[in-house]
Every structure is written in C-alpha cells, then in structure tokens.
Amino acid sequence: MFLRSILALAAVTGGALAKQCMNFTVPVDISARNGVFNLPTLQSNLDATTFAQNLTNIRANFTKASLLDYTTVTGKYMISVKFCTPDNDNGQNPTVQVLTHGIGFDKTYWDVPFNNFNYSYIDVAVDQYKYCTLSIDRLGVGNSSIADPLNVIQAPAELSALYELTKMLRMGTLPNVPRAFEKIVHVGHSFGASLSYTLAAMYPTMSDGLILTGYSANGSFLPSTIASWNSKLARLNQPLRFGNVSYAAVQEAVSMVGNVNTTAIDQYLAKFNINLAEVQQVVQTTDLADFIAGLDPSSLPKMADLPSGYLTWTDAGSNQYAFLYPGHFDPEILFFAESSKFPYTVGEILTIGGAPMMAPMFTGPVQIFTGNEDFIFCGGDCMATGDPSLPSIPAAAKKAFPAASAFEAYIQPNTGHALNVHYNATAGYKVIQEFLNNHGLAPT
C-alpha cells in the first residue's frame, strides 16, 4: 500500500477519512547565482521608507542601478515542509502537488488555521480529490532556515531550494517519503507562482503541470503595491514575533498591571466622547495591533531576532489594500492574517522581477488562477485589458507557454490577491483540481 510507513507514523484520530500529514525539515544543498547589490544595511523604519522610495522612483531601475555583480551562493539550509496524503489511499500512481506560498505568508497559507480550517486548500486537494501535497516554507521564512536578507534570501536561492525538493520527490529521496513520484504539479501563489513558473522555464522536465495563483505577467502594479505597504523593519513592527523582545519580560510586566477595570476605563474615555469600541478599532487597524502581536505564545509562530533586512507592511489597512477585496472576506480573518503575517527580505524585492520572459520548452498544462479584483497583478480589475481581443490581463501570459499542452486563465469573481482567505476560496480550489483531473494529472 502506497506510503504505508508514512501512515503508520501519522497521528490518526477518529474513524472518519481525513488527510494524514507530517511536518518535518529537509536539509537542502542550494547553489544559486545571486546578485551582489550596493545597498547599505537598513537601520530604521525610515531606512525602509527610503528603500521603498528608491524602488518606486520612475527615474531609474533601482535594482539595475544597485547591482554590482553576481556571485554563486552555496550552502546547506533546512527547509520546513508539510507532507499530506489521503487516508486509506491505495493508489499506485499518485500525484503530488508542491505548494509554494507568496510574500507575507508561510506554508499555512495552504491550510489556514482559522475557523476550523474551513479555508484549507489541502483539505480539498487531499481529502476530496486524493492528491498528495508538499507545502513548504520558502527559504528564509517560517520554520525554514533564516539567512542574510540581502545576499542570500533572493529569488535564485529560493528557486534552488524548490528545485532540490522537487528533484527529491522525483527520485524518491525526500526524507520520510519512501517513493518516487512520476507526476508532480507545482502550485504557487504570487511570488511562489513566479518561482514555480521560473522552475518550469529553466527545468521544464521537473514539473508535469503548473497552477499559478494570484499571478499575471503584468508587473506594472508592483510599485504601487510596494508604496501601499509602507514597509517597516519586521523586528520593529512585530517585536514579540520578529525582534529580540523577551516574552517572559512582557508576561511579567502584564502580570504587574493586574486586573483591568474596563468599566472605569469606559467611564474615563466617555469624558472625551470615546468608547472602548473605538479604541478597539484603533488598535486593530493600526500598527498598535502589530506591536502586541505574539502576546499569546501558543498561537503564533515566531522568527525571533531577525536581521534588519527583513521587512513587513505596516498594518491591517496595508494588508487589506494589497491582498483583499472588501465585502468578500470575513473581517476577523484580516486581523488573524495581520497578526500572523510573515516578512519579506530586501533581497527578494530586488530580485522579484528576474523571471524568464518565456517557458518555451514546458509541455505540461498551465492554469493561471487569479482573483478578478487582484490589485498586485491586475490593478484591481483583471478584465480591464484595453484590448477587445484579450479577455483578461492574466490571459496575456499564454504567449509565455507556446508548447503547453493546455492553457487556461481562470478569473475568480469577488476575490482579491490572497485567494485563500476570501469567502469563495473553496469553490476556487475545486476549479483547480478539476483542471488537473481533466488534463491527465489525477492520481490513479
């Protein structure tokens, strides 16, 4: 039986069919041609602002102007992964989906721990359609190795890690997964989609199918996105999660305050025509909420004491602007996503536009799956092409795949950039699985 040894290791609770998952880390040897950039170390939030101003200035290409040379970066790094299989799976020819998250997330983007996991992509792919999945924390994010945010954590290094993991799946050498996969699909979101696309362009036989979510070939809205983030040093924005603030010290300080008399506070605020509900809004929608994120140590993953080249957007407002379509998401999931966000690096931002123009040798099926109101890749309206012959902005990417066996640009209605946290996410997941099934990639 396929993966009998994995199922023996996995924790099984109850008699209902459910996915069986393992979390573990994989040692990966990377080798990447990274850029060498003339960029001073960011020391303050205003330095982060200056970095964004330089990036978005139309005077010159800041990446090109800062690039001094290239160098080969090598080393062994630990990549955190989650491998899931269907329960009681007897398939002899399974298909594995490699799930790569975008900027601002970790691998839980594919299995969102909110509202009893009702937004889980993995639940649909594994439980309903019987795919295996390997979701990864990209190099430098989550539980994967932290490294130099300028010189190491760049797109080429992250691509190298993705390539090595894929090769392990193909050859049957991925730890804890005792078989080789003949059918491998790469599913990426945003920056993760760009990495998946680049993998298919540079190593076309490594992938049998591509699902590029939150993606188009139009990068003209990236400067507006970066401006909307109002980037801060991650260690200053969420010091309990990303800085070197001692949680024990904070806990001691909170305990010294004692019980808070909310009635007395409410009465005091009333003198200024302010109520606690307004105070709550101030906290939730400004970076005050970020400053205290992580007070509950059991609920939020941490990347402690990050170098200052790790950045994040400012607050829930910046998050909504770039990632969510108003009226079509649970407001509470926005606050959850903001409190549990993950940083990006200056190296990633400088190399984010380095993907090849085409993937001429890739012969598998390709689906681009983008929300109609995606701001980052469509400016908020994916149908606004200005060309009657072009049905959507993502559809223009078809020319990058001249040898693909099939191409579809699917536009998900009432959805912004972060597909997986909108009300209609699970309906979209089924569209993706049906596309794969209809193009010869279903597990058998």
Sequence letter at residue 23: N
Helices (H), 258-356: 262-270, 276-285, 287-292, 316-323, 331-339, 346-351
pLDDT recorded at residue 293: 75
Please check the confidence at residue 72 and state whether its pLDDT lies above 70: yes
The DSSP result for 331-364, as a single string, is HHHHHHHHHT---EEHHHHHHTT---S--TT--S
pLDDT recorded at residue 15: 40
Please check the confidence at residue 248 and state whether its pLDDT lies above 70: no
pTM of the predicted structure, to 2 decimals: 0.90
Please check the confidence at residue 336 and state whether its pLDDT lies above 90: yes
Tell me which of 83-92, 130-139, 350-359, 394-403 is least confident.
Answer: 83-92
Tell me which of 101-110, 124-133, 290-299 is least confident.
Answer: 290-299
Rounded mean pLDDT of 106-132?
A: 95
Please check the confidence at residue 279 and state whether its pLDDT lies above 90: no
pLDDT recorded at residue 2: 42
Which tokens belong to 284?
């939730």
pLDDT recorded at residue 268: 58
Pairing of strands 132-136, 95-100: parallel
Please check the confidence at residue 349 and state whether its pLDDT lies above 70: yes
Predicted confidence (pLDDT) per residue in 8-35, tens digit: 444 433 345 688 999 999 999 999 999 9
| pLDDT interval class at 87 (50, 70, 90) | confident
| pLDDT interval class at 61 (50, 70, 90) | very high
Please check the confidence at residue 368 and state whether its pLDDT lies above 70: yes
Exposed, middle or buried: residue 421 (CB in 10 Å: 0-12, 13-18, 19+)? Answer: buried
The DSSP result for 95-143, as a single string, is EEEEEE--TT--GGGGS--STTTTT-HHIIIIIIT--EEEEEPPTTSTT
Nearest alpha-carbon partner for 350 in 253, 222, 439: 222
pLDDT recorded at residue 244: 85
| pLDDT interval class at 1 (50, 70, 90) | very low
| pLDDT interval class at 301 (50, 70, 90) | low
Sequence letter at residue 38: N
pLDDT recorded at residue 290: 75
Nearest alpha-carbon partner for 337 in 158, 95, 106: 106
Please check the confidence at residue 5 and state whether its pLDDT lies above 50: no
pLDDT recorded at residue 9: 42
pLDDT recorded at residue 17: 62
Rounded mean pLDDT of 387-410?
A: 97
pLDDT recorded at residue 18: 81
Nearest alpha-carbon partner for 110 in 419, 335, 329, 424: 419
Rounded mean pLDDT of 269-276?
A: 63
